[in-house]
Structure 1
């Protein structure tokens, strides 16, 4: 990508930060209010009117300012739009990552805005308006939490690591069996602990700020980890496939870790590799 494209991307990055700030109050106000709760794929896959309104606000702002850009959003895809990643400038958005947390007023929720151009992830914005935490990163320029530079943990030993993961929304017994087998294998590696924040983006950002060494999960979507993935990389970490290879953004599985040593060690103790329909 040439310097002119990077300059344009920096403009889009500033726009994304302001956009996250704009929708933050919508999420924060609704967080403390009564909500109408709907479901999507199953009774534990929740969506609220706020998810839909926030995505609509973001989509309209992007289309008004950059009408030739592509858009992949969680609620738009749930509504029937195709999830198609091309070489075009593409915004990948989760209006509220951690909707179940949002419903229960557990304060780990975030609007996630990632940007991909020519299939290269260029920047990410993850904003938790409840805790007033703005995570940002632009390729090659480092990552920040508000005005503070982020740096991952220096730990090299999986056995001394804190691992983040989730059970996900699926309650299919076969799926859960694989999830729990993996958790049992990871905790028995051993590691110090397995924790869950209920949000893929918040889990990954916890790795980026050094509060955990790694995160892994199967079954999530590109909008869950596109933005956060570049934040952990720019904080000095890595993102890879759960089998140890290069991350495929549309494959719905990820390891995000503080370094490649921990990432590879974690991939080696994941006993149930899961192939899911691609985004």
Structure 2
């Protein structure tokens, strides 16, 4: 541990974390090289849920690299799962008994990538018997690598991260999203935004849940919540937050696990107030 940030955090060898970092960096640089050059744009669950051949190619690259080192490990990637909440829940259920499972979102923020808006990321996590033990989020646009190992802290640019110090919503900058599910998740999240907005300093909806969670871990956001996310959106960020001293639950305040779809993350200090505000919005009662 290095609270004064004097010694960089270094990963070497073929450890789980080294492989995750290597995969995220290689995929991220390839994705960045394709910015503005994708050939095919398709939709998945809704007209707002986009996928390109770059998403699919990046996931294939990550899968191959991981299985080169750990051929017996299970793999849960966004592009390998049918669209929709039911299919996502089934996919998580299918790997619940795996000793090791890699959980990957090759491009978290595909809509941003498509529009050239530089806020998207590669998210890679490794869970052991359902507990996340490695989390890596890479932002190719800023060349920022967020890394966490269970029990060893979380780091960005090799320096130890810690959550922000705000103690009230009134002093907090928080993040959320505008879900692609226009029928269920979006109306509920808009309801929650309307409830939270008057109580916080401001809200950011930048379009990558993984990066929003990394920003909570780094102290750049005091909190984050969203209705209707999936394991690949959350797994890596979950460890970054807890290893940075933050708190992550579902919208009802229950502990995080891989099947959680409605997360609330914070620096811990504003968590109860944020949960209470979301509960008062009515959104929590609907999920």
Same fold (TM over 0.5): yes
Matches within 5 A, 1:110-189: 110-172=121-183, 175-188=185-198
Q: Which residue of 2 is the match for residue 252 of structure 1?
A: 261
1:53 is matched with which residue? 57
Q: CA deviation at 1:61?
A: 1.7
Once the two structures are TM-superposed, the CA of residue 275 in structure 1 deviates from its matched residue by 6.2
Moved more, 75-84 or 45-54: 75-84
Picking from 211, 226, 229, the partner of 1:217 is 226
- Which of 272, 275, 280 is the equivalent residue of 1:267? 275
Give yes or no for contact 1:137–1:234 (8 Å, CA) kept in 2.
yes
> Corresponding residue for 1:243?
252
Residues 80-111 of structure 1 deviation map (CA, whole Å, 9 limit, x = unaligned): 89332224101000000000000011111111
Aligned to 1:3: none
Taking structure 1 as the reference length, the TM-score comes to 0.90
2:3 maps to which residue?
none
Q: Please report the TM-score for the alignment, with normalisation by the length of structure 2.
A: 0.87
Match of 1:82 in 2: 91
Measured after TM superposition, the shift of residue 68 of structure 1 is 1.1
Instruction: Provide the aligned length of Structure 1 versus Structure 2.
Output: 265
Contact 2:112/2:118, CA 8 A, preserved across alignment: yes
Distance (whole Å) between structure 1 residues aligned to residue 261 and residue 16 of structure 2? 26
- Segments of 5+ residues of structure 2 without an aligned counterpart are 1-12
CA distance in structure 1 between the aligned counterparts of 2:173 and 2:219, rounded to whole angstroms = 10
Q: What is the CA–CA distance in structure 1 between the aligned matches of 2:238 and 2:63, rounded to whole Å?
A: 21
Question: What RMSD over aligned residues (CA atoms) do the two structures have, in Å?
Answer: 1.9
What residue is the counterpart of 2:26 in the other structure?
A: 22
2:79 matches 1:68: no
SS for the counterpart of 2:155 is strand
For 1:218, what is the secondary structure of its paired residue?
coil
- By how many angstroms is 1:274 displaced? 6.4
Cα distance in 2, alignment partners of residues 274 and 40 from structure 1: 28
1:216-236 per-residue CA deviation (whole Å, 9 max, x = no partner) reads: 011010000100111111111
User: 2:116 maps to what in 1?
Assistant: 105
